[in-house]
Structure formats: structure tokens, C-alpha cells
Structure 1
């Protein structure tokens, strides 16, 4: 039998490694930014075109590379960070495996110019699919500039799996945030398609957070600080009243590296227990500093999943630290058992002064005066009782006691004040009724119809909004006074992206300026008091939903709106609303399933009911 095992060529091995290291353009951004930081850069520029598919360029003023180092940097497992296996347990740099540049060069066109501080000229290298096309001496500023063009040009299947430019840009922005937040001492610039998105000067962590997420974040932050033998904790948490429906503003950093840790996230959430609603998430920017030997950052190719030696202790310390900060800055309610609330001054009287009581005396009062007399001028007059019979005028006519057709009856389900005649109530009660404030039950020829009120209303609203976005016939309710709402740069970018679709369904915007949005009109189904909440939830659902499949923007938007505006489980529906729900559901094109592919109704046949009594 001949030998069948053979070594793979380097370019094939690099493409396989690229499948682990480079998942999308954001992965390239992460690797290049981390290399620039390891090079000691003080100014880093990120330039992106077409969501990173056409171009990703990172320019830094770091130490640069010599001609030999520049050539070796594209070889597999070539790195300056470690020299032995023991070094893996004392890592303080970003990249250390030496696979990033080799993997990127295997699936893209790479152009690198670099020069050290001591050399007068630098080196220019061009690589296409792991093949070096050219290498020459060039005059270039000190530092390194790496351009990655036509990502996945030689792997069409991987390129086809990339999302739209807007989605890929969103992932790139997330990676940029993760790197910029942990390095406030470095100046960052971010350009997309020729326009500057972020200009982040050097500063303190709190200033860096405000520059990224908007100036309104400044008043929402509560500092967190604790130092123990196990871990040093610093950073900020957001006040409970600013908890959101999305997980956007949640960042953990361990030894200046962004990490994902559901276990530590649970510790923070436990500290906020009772202060925020169950379906909301607290915001936090927490920096952990631990002994490098007590953390393993090499368990995943992306290096975002880590393993701590003593997670239980870290959990307890983090939870206690967050709770201490909430109490220390009077964010959490405090119980004072020595306080007597009866001694508190009512809120309405706090600013009022004392008023002396006044006594008035009726000098004309006569206790011997008869009840039927009154004082008029200077004499007494009798009060006439004539005409008292007129009060009962008309009551001697015969009453038609058999005619109760117009008598209004209010049933237990008429909680919204809807009134029906006796015939209407009988008819409606025989047609539909609400079960457990969750289902609407009705009768059909084959048996009993049970409708899930929340899912059914989602389907109705979904098809309504989808039609309005497509046909552009949404009805808008104009606000008497424009409503001003604040959003960060990323949220504002999403609103600008979906502005046309929102306008088609009835939203009207006066302006979408920096951090501020003026709303002048809303759809009829959106309550004026809930405009801000609806837009917040819409942005959160859109950010999470637009990347889950290949559905269109209009469908994602219609899904998000129907989810947030549909009737909830637990709401009481009157008879008219129940009937409207049934009729509108079966007028839909797809009444069986909700927009999220869940069953909206079921029919229990008469035979199934009979079997229960057999």
C-alpha cells in the first residue's frame, strides 16, 4: 500500500488558518490594530471602503520593521512576542501566534510600507494570495502602513457569505470600539468611504467613552474601583435608569484585552438585580487586571474567550464591587431603619412658609333664629316652600317596563368602557372570549379556535408595516411639539440607514444631527409617550436581527416594529378588539405563523373534545 499522508503546501495551510483567524473584514481590522498597538504607536488611522470588502488600511507611527522583519512577518508562526512555550503564560501583548499576516495575505491583496526610526528609507512589499509580487525600497514615513484589498478574492464561497456593507461596517465599528476603549492614551482616526467617523484624541478612559458614545454618556457613568490580591477592578457602570433592551454598551477587558465572559456578565447583572427591569441589560465598561499566569487567552483563535484560574472568587469580588459602587454613589435605594417617615415634610409644602391661622366670627348669628328664616338686609323673611310638587312632575305617567332594548350592560371583559346593548353582548359573548389574558377563543365549524393574541397581532402588524414600507402609504400623526431624542454615533448611523423606511410607515424627522434627533410625526399605532422607547427597541432589534439571515431591510424593520407594538400577553381585550383580531388575522397572507415563525393559532376539533369525555 502506498503512502497517503502528505504535507500541505504553505499557501493551502495559510488558507486553512485564515478560516480560523479571518472570519470577516472586522477580523482583519482587529489583527492590524493590535499589531499597531504592539508596535508602540501613538497615532493610528483606520481607513475602510465598502464595509472592508474593497479596502482595509491601518496606518501607524510605531516602531516599524526592517527589510528582513517585513519579509518574515508574512511567514506562518513568525512572531517577535514569544520565544518559548513558557512565554505563553506571561503574555502582555496582543498578537503572539504569528498567524495573522500570513493568513490575511493568503486570501487578499496586501500592500505594506514600513520604516524604522533609524533607517532613512523603508521597504514596500506586495503580496497576492501568499505570493510575493514585488519588494522594493521606498521613501515612507516612519511606522507601518498595511492595506488589505479584495478580501477573499480567491475564495468566492467565503466572499458570498459576507453580509451587506452596512452590516460589515457595523462589525468593524464594534472591533474599533473594543480596541479604542482600552487604549485612551493612543489617538485614533476612523474613516469610511472618505468621510471621518471617529476622531478620538488622547485622554482619560471616561473621556474616551464620551467621545465614542456621545457626551450624554458622561452623566450616566458611575465609577467602579477595587483592588485585591486576586484582581484589580476599575472602570464604569451605567446608572440603572439607563438600562437598555440591547447588550450594546457592555465591555469587559482583561489585561488590556477585550474578552467575552457570560459568567462575569452574570455577576454584574446580579448586582443590578431589583434595580432594572428583567428584560433590560445594564451598561458597563469594566477593566480587570490579573496576573498573566492566572489567565489563559489561547483557548480560542479570536482570543476573546479566556479562562481564569479562580472564576468563583473573581465572580464574588466583581459582584460586590459593582453593588458597592451603586450604593456609594446613591444609585441604589438605601434602607434607614432609624428614620421616621412621619416626621418628613410633605413634598408640596417643603418650600412654603408658615401661615398664621385666621378666625372669622359671624356677628349676625342668632342661635334662636328659626330654620325657615334667613337674614336679608336688616329684616327677617320667611322662605316659601311653594312649588315643591313640581319636583315630581311627569312621574305619574305609565312606564314601559317591558322595553329594555336600549339598556347598557357592562360585562367583566369591558374594561375599557365599551358599552353594548343586551343583544350585542349576547352575540359577542357567544362568538369570542379571552382566556388567561393570553388567548382569544372562538368557534369554527370543525371545533374550537384558539388564537395566541401576541403572535397573531405581530403577524397583522408585520404585514401592515411591510406593505407600507413597500407601497409608501403610511399615515403619520403630527406632533404638536417636536420631540428631541439623544443617540450615540452608532445608533444615529442606524437611524440614517433606515430613515427612508421609517418615513414610509409614518415617522417624520425634522433633523438627524449629531447626537440629537427631532421627531415631528409618528405612525398612528405608536403612542406619543412611547416614541423614545420604540425607537430604542427598534435600533436594538435591528442591530441584532439584520445579521441573522438573508432577509431584506424592510422585513427586519417590519419584524422589529411588530414585535414592539403588538398586544402583549396579559393585556385585556374587549369584545370588539377580540373580533378585530380574529378577522384581521385571517385576512393576512400567512395567518398560520408569526413573523418569527411561531404558531399563531390552533384548532381543537370536536372529535378531540369528544374523546375527553369518552
Structure 2
């Protein structure tokens, strides 16, 4: 019997490894930029076309590679950072496993140009699908340039799984921002389809954060710092009033490497306990420096998850330091037991004695006497009294004196007393005004029907009404708007501004009027009829959060997503009291919808209970 097990060819093994390392174009950006940082570059340029599907190019001015290294770097497990197994637990660099370039070369057309400072000529290498096409000397500037073209050209199935250009571009921007924030001492620039997206000069950590997220980020930040034997913590946290619904501005960096940690995130949320509304997420940009031997960063293919030796101590330090920062900068409420200075005695009255008021008494006053009291008081100071006995008012009989004497008789009016002998309707047929709807626990609306009653979930019902209204407005392009007296300016990050620019036409069909869209802000001058000025920021924030994973390609799906998001934001919340008129309007509008049975999220809006069902309940 022939053997079944066999060794994989190198190009197949490289493609399998690429499945772990290169999941999308953003993975290539991450690996190439980290290599440029390890090469001690001070200027790194990222050029992207078609969201990385056509071209990803990273140019740096680092140390470059020799002829031998430039050829060897594309071999599997070729690395300059590891010599022994123990080196895995004392890493100070980014890439170290030696799989990135080999994996990228297996699934794309790669062109590399590199030159060391002391060499006269550099090396120009072209690889297509793990096959070396050419290698020749060339006149090049110092540093390295990697060009990755036609990603997944030989694996069409992987290419088909990529999302739209907008989504893939957002992933690339995320990776670019993570590397740029970890290294403010490096000048980063990014170009997409020929236009400059970021130009980040050398700066400190705070200025780098402000340059990336623009807007009014600077006034949102509160510094946090703590130095212990376990960890040195520094960075910035956001003020609670600037919290958002999404988690887009939350960053942990451990030894200048971006990581994701639900455990550390929980520590931050514990520090904000009592300061955030339900579902709100604070912003934080925290840098943790720990001894390399206390962490293991090789537990995840993308190295975004690491393992700490003493997680509990790190949790406590992180939570307490953030609480301290919030209290130190008067962000968190504190109990102040200091005395109120307003209760102190004024300076000019400190040495003065209190003056007692004088008492004035009329000792000759007799309430039962009809005579006027004398003006002489027994008190020596009685002359200053202004007491005066009120004059007697005339009695009510005096008002009628003289009426009959003047010959005026009081006319007596008689009314015809007709007894109602019959009624148009029988007494049991008289329709009395009764309340048609009832609200239970400020959550459900009960409305009686012939066969029993209908119990309506007020939040889901309102979502359905708003959803169909917005969808109709966007489809017919006849939305009504209310003009604002003063235009409202809202600040967003560059990625959010780009997303709003794409949604502008659809939002205008719902009733929004955008006066201008700038680099870091939007100016709104008109609103949909059922949106108040205080709800604008909430509606747009939740919309951006819902579309964070990408805008649907088709216009109908895009309108559907926007309508669902706005309906969810504007729907009446559970716990809101509704008047009887509001209850009736909601019930009538719900059953006027095309699909009143379910909410936009396919959940039931109401249930019915017949009299027979009630009878069964009482027959138990």
C-alpha cells in the first residue's frame, strides 16, 4: 500500500501560512509598517490604491538590507530578531516570526527596492506568487520600498471574500493609526488613490492623537500617569461627557504594540462607574510599559492579544490610576466637606456687638372697648408707634336699604319646568366616553378590541412607524425639513467625516440639510420634522456606530440600514410616559403601516389576547 502522508510543496505551505498572517489588505499594511519601524526609519510613507486590492506601497528611510538579506527575507521563518527560543520572551521589536514577507509574496506580486547607507548600489527584486522573477542591482535612495500589487491574484476565493472598498479602506486606516500612535517620534504620511489622507509630523503623544482624530480632541483628553514596579502607565483618557456609543477611540499599547484586552477594558469601565450613561463608551489612549519577560505576545497570529503574568495587579493599578486622574482634574464628582465661605461673618462686622430690637407696647389698648385708644403709651418710645384700630365696616343689610322705598320691586323670575318624558336612545345604548388605551409600566399599551385586547410594545411599535416613514421619504425623495434658527456644528474624526460624506445624499432624503462638510466638522442647518436639535448628535453618532463595519453597496440596503438606525435612535424609550392622545396616535399609526406585526429588527410589536384566553386563565 502506498504512503498517504506527504510533505507540502513550499508554495502551498506559504499560501496556508498566508491564511493566518494575511487576512485582508490591512494585514499587509500592518506587517510592512512594523518592518519599517523595526528598520529604525524616521519617515514612513504609505500609498494605497483601490483599498489595497491594486497596490500597497510602504516607503521608509531605514537601514535597508544587503543583497543576501534582501533575498533571504522572503524565505519562511527567516528573521533577524530571534536566535534562541528564550528570545521569544524578551522581545523589543515588532515582527519576529519571519512569516510575513514569505506569506505576502505567496499571494501577490511583490516588488522590493532596498539599499543600505554605506552601499553605492541597492537591490531590486520582483516576486510573483513565491517565484523569483528578477533580482538586479539598482541606483536607489537609502531605505526600503515594498510594493504589493494584485493581492490574492492566485487565490480568487479569498479575494471574493473581501468586503467593499470603503470597509477595507477603513481597516487600513485603523492599522495605520495604531502604528502611528505608538510611534509619535516618526513622521507618517498616507495617500489613498492619489490624495493625502494623513500627514503626521514628529510630535508628542498628545499632539499625535489630536493630529489623527482632529476636531476638538484636545479638550476631551485628561492625562493619566502611574509608575510602579509592575507597569509604567501613561496616556490619556476621555472626559465622560464626550463618551460615544461605539468603541472606535479605545487603544491599549503595551511596549509600543497595539493590543486588544477585554480584561483591561473592564478595568477602565470600572473606573468610569457612575459617570457614563447606559451603553456609552469612553475614549482612552493608554500606553503600558512592562518588562518583556512578564508577557507572552505569541499567542495570537496577528499578535494583537497578549498574556500577562500578573493580570490582577495590572487591573487594580489601571483602575485606580484612571480614577485618580478623573478626580484630580475634577471630572469625577467628589464629596467636599469644606465649610461654605458664604456663611462666614463679614470682615467689617466681626468685632461689633449685636443690636437688640426695641419693643413698643400700647398698654391702654382694650380690644373689647368701643372707645378709641389713647395715643399715650406707657413706653417711652411709644410715640413712634403707628397703631390704628380698624374702622367698623357697614353690615350687609345696609346694602338693601332704600330699594323698596324708591319704588323698585325685586322681580321674581319663573322658569318653565318641562319634564323629559322620553329619550332618543335607551339607557343601555348610550355610548359613554371611555378610555380606549392604557399604559402599563410605561412599556406596554393595552387597547381593547371586540374579541379581547391588544398589548403593544411601545418602543417596537414606534420603531416600525418611524422606519417606514424614513424609508418612504428616502424612496420618494420628498422629505420635510425644519429650518434651524442657528446652524449647528458637530466635530468628528476624519474617518467619520468620510463616512458622513458618503451618506450625505441619503440623509438629505430623510430631511437633514448639510450646509457644509469640512475636514473635521459638519454644519447642519435643517432637520427632519420629528428630530429635535438635542437629538442630532445622538442620531448621527448611533448611525456612524451602526455603519462602522461598512456601508452596503446597493442603495436600497443603504437606505434600509439608515432608516433602521434612525428609527432605533428616535423611538420612544421604555419607561417614557405617554398621554392618552399619544397612545392613540401610536396605535393608529402602527396599524396603518404595511407590516405592523414586527419591528424593523423582526421582533413582534404586539400580541392579542382573546376573551377565551382570559377565561382559560380564570378557569385554572
Whether TM exceeds 0.5 here: the answer is: yes
1:494 maps to 499
TM-score by length of 2: 0.84
* Correspondence 1:12 to 2:12: yes
1:505-554 CA-partner distances (Å, limit 9, x unpaired): 11011111122321100001111222223222222222157489998322
1:613 maps to 618
Change (3 A) 1:452 1:5: same
Q: Alignment partner of 2:456: what SS?
A: strand
Aligned 8 A contact 1:592 1:599 in 2: yes
Q: Alpha-carbon deviation of 1:447? A: 4.5
2:364 maps to none
1:380 maps to none
Change (3 A) 1:609 1:484: same
Equivalent residues in 2 for 1:429-468, closer than 5 Å: 429-430=435-436, 432-444=437-449, 447-468=452-473
* Correspondence 1:517 to 2:511: no
Q: Alignment partner of 1:125: what SS?
A: strand
1:36-62 CA-partner distances (Å, limit 9, x unpaired): 101111001111112112211111111
1:302-325 CA-partner distances (Å, limit 9, x unpaired): 100111011001000111111111
Aligned 8 A contact 1:545 1:556 in 2: no
TM-score by length of 1: 0.85
Change (3 A) 1:338 1:96: same
Q: Alignment partner of 2:127: what SS?
A: strand
Equivalent residues in 2 for 1:23-42, closer than 5 Å: 23-42=23-42
1:482 maps to 487
2:77 maps to 77
1:210-237 CA-partner distances (Å, limit 9, x unpaired): 1111151112211111111111101111
Q: Alignment partner of 1:434: what SS?
A: strand
User: Residues of 1 paired with 2:178 and 2:577: CA distance?
Assistant: 45
2:327 maps to 327
Aligned 8 A contact 1:167 1:547 in 2: no
Of 369, 388, 393, the residue aligned with 1:367 is: 388
Aligned 8 A contact 2:164 2:550 in 1: no
Q: Alpha-carbon deviation of 1:165? A: 1.0
* Correspondence 1:240 to 2:240: yes
Of 555, 562, 584, the residue aligned with 1:557 is: 562
1:188 maps to 188
- Gap regions ≥5 residues in structure 1: 346-362, 374-383, 404-421
Q: Size of the alignment, in residue pairs?
A: 562
2:375 maps to none
User: Residues of 2 paired with 1:13 and 1:399: CA distance?
Assistant: 111
Aligned 8 A contact 2:166 2:551 in 1: no
Q: Alpha-carbon deviation of 1:465? A: 1.5
Change (3 A) 1:556 1:545: farther
Change (3 A) 1:234 1:473: same
Change (3 A) 1:500 1:591: same
RMSD of Structure 2 on Structure 1 (CA): 3.2
2:575 maps to 570
Aligned 8 A contact 1:477 1:522 in 2: yes
Of 584, 587, 607, the residue aligned with 2:592 is: 587
2:151 maps to 151
Q: Alpha-carbon deviation of 1:267? A: 0.6
Q: Alignment partner of 2:251: what SS?
A: strand
* Greater gyration radius: 2
1:125 maps to 125
Q: Alpha-carbon deviation of 1:123? A: 1.6
Change (3 A) 1:342 1:82: same
Change (3 A) 1:336 1:133: same
2:55 maps to 55
1:17-38 CA-partner distances (Å, limit 9, x unpaired): 1111111111111111101101
* Correspondence 1:542 to 2:563: no
Change (3 A) 1:339 1:606: same
Aligned 8 A contact 1:476 1:523 in 2: yes
* Correspondence 1:295 to 2:298: no
Aligned 8 A contact 2:552 2:558 in 1: no
Change (3 A) 1:582 1:366: closer
Change (3 A) 1:4 1:613: same
Q: Alpha-carbon deviation of 1:585? A: 2.7
User: Residues of 2 paired with 1:400 and 1:315: CA distance?
Assistant: 89
Aligned 8 A contact 2:474 2:509 in 1: yes
Q: Alignment partner of 1:552: what SS?
A: helix
Equivalent residues in 2 for 1:260-275, closer than 5 Å: 260-275=260-275
Equivalent residues in 2 for 1:47-446, closer than 5 Å: 47-340=47-340, 343=343, 367=388, 370=391, 425-426=433-434, 429-430=435-436, 432-444=437-449
User: Residues of 2 paired with 1:527 and 1:292: CA distance?
Assistant: 52
